[in-house]
Chain A
Amino acid sequence: QSALTQPRSVSGSPGQSVTISCTGTSSDVGGYNYVSWYQQHPGKVPKLIIYDVTKRPSGVPDRFSGSKSGNTASLTISGLQADDDGDYYCCSYAGNPWVFGGGTKVTVL
C-alpha cells in the first residue's frame, strides 16, 4: 500500500482537462512544499513534470500545472493530447523518507 493515495485511472478526450489528486497527511503533502509529479510511458524513465508543488522544469508545457490544498496535491493536464497517455506518480517529502503515490493511469480517449 502506497503512502500517498492517487486514483487508479482517469480519462479524457483530446482537448479536455483532467485532474489527478494525491492525498497524504500533514506529515507529508500537508507539511512540506516538496510535492513533485512524474510522467512515465511504458518501459521509459520517469519524467519530472512538476516539482515543489507548482514549478515546471524547463521544456515541460504549461498545459501541466500543480497545486496543493491541505493534505491533497493535484496535477491538472489541460488541452489533453495523445502523448499524455501514460502513468503519473506523485511524490512528497515526509521528513525523510520521500513517499510516492501508487500511480494513476491517464487514458486519452
Chain B
Amino acid sequence: DVKVTQSSRYLVKRTGEKVFLECVQDMDHENMFWYRQDPGLGLRLIYFSYDVKMKEKGDIPEGYSVSREKKERFSLILESASTNQTSMYLCASRFLDSTFGGRKTEAFFGQGTRLTVV
C-alpha cells in the first residue's frame, strides 16, 4: 500500500515563526502536491512538484515556499507564519503514468496537518 506521511497531525505556531511541514511518500512517485483545505473553500493548490528539485506554483503560493531535494520528500515552508495561514494542510503524491500522460493515476493523500497560528 502507498503511504504518504505528514510529520505532524496538529501544530501550533506563533505569528512570525518560520514553519516547516514535512511530507514523505514511499512509492517513488514523481508528482507531489501541497494543498490547504478550509471550510467552504475546498482544497486549494499551493505548490506542486513533478520531479526532484522541480516545483511550480499552484493557485495560492503567496507566503509559502517548497523544497524537493529528494524524490520521496516534499516540504512546505511558511516563511513568516500569519494567522490567515491557520488551516488544514494536505500533502499528496501521484505516479506519472507515461502511457496515459498522467491522466489516470490516483493521488494518495496524507492524513493532514492542522496548523494553528496564534
A binds B: no
Chain A interface residues toward B at CB < 8 A: none
